[in-house]
Amino acid sequence: MHQTNLSNRARLLISCPDQPGIVAAVSQYLRDQQANIVQSDQYSTDPEGGMFFMRIEFNLPAFEERYEYICNDFSRIADDFQMSWRLEQERKMKKMAVFVSKEDHCLLELLWRWRSGELEVDIPVVLSNHDHLRDIVESYGIPFYHVPVTKDTKPEAEQKQKEILQNYGIDFIVLARYMQILSGDFVQAYRHKVINIHHSFLPAFIGANPYKKAFDRGVKLIGATAHYITDDLDEGPIIEQEVLRVNHRYSAEQLKIAGRNVEKIALARAVDWHINDKVLVHENKTLVFN
């Protein structure tokens, strides 16, 4: 029974200029298709000239067989309201690639949640600019690719990375403390499909050594920020943030250790929301229907 329901479950995500009749039109269309709505979330930035956002889950008999038809047929509704939209199949598991460097805490958190079934995602491959974490990754039965990156070889390295991602049919990428800046070309090729964890509560302490900066300022809260990457370093749309209260007794090293815990929590949540299509991006902000 579970598999039958799952195969018929769909998610429709919509963003468009706010105007009367959107919810009625979408609901009526789904009713005409004999769909049963199981969850609906919506948000309007401003009823007068603002934007409207909607995430709707529904069951539709024989959805897999009708997927292409629904995609084509719904376009007439979408055109009427100038919608940006996408239709997702719940049973179609997304393929996630993980980029890492030397630190393993975020990677291990994702692998543990994946193996325990908490993250319903496929992890076909892990890529790294170092070889340090190969044994850990391969112990999970996941292929590991070492792609060294230097200032002079970055274009060639990124081309190799793209080829690997294409060979595995990757849907999105997670930078689990990957200590390299991706080029603008790479970012544009995977727009809103690369999630990064920044070891700071953005926009504070951007760039390198945020825990040292936080220690020097005597902060009372430390945090981590999971966000989609853009051409602007550490300024992409924020998906999730986590904080932890600290005090003057924490050394810079203790702040760093505590920070690792908030990093992996924030990143895991962001990944979970992404794979479940709970995040909508508008300009440089996100709406998370969690």
Looking at the annotation, which residues are catalytic?
A: 234
Task: Taking the CA atoms of 212, 215, 216 and 220 in sequence, report the sign of the dihedral they define.
Answer: positive
Strands 172-175, 84-89: pairing kind: unpaired
Q: Are 193 and 175 in contact (CB under 8 A)?
A: no
Q: Which two tokens stand for residue 283?
A: 């300009």
E-strand spans in the chain? 9-17, 36-44, 51-59, 84-89, 95-100, 122-128, 144-146, 172-175, 194-198, 221-228, 238-245, 279-282, 285-288
Within 8 A by CB and 6+ apart from 115, the residues are: 140
Q: Are 210 and 200 in contact (CB under 8 A)?
A: yes
Residue 287: beta bridge partners? 280
d(CA 69, CA 51): 27
Which SS3 state, helix, strand or coil, does residue 205 take?
A: coil
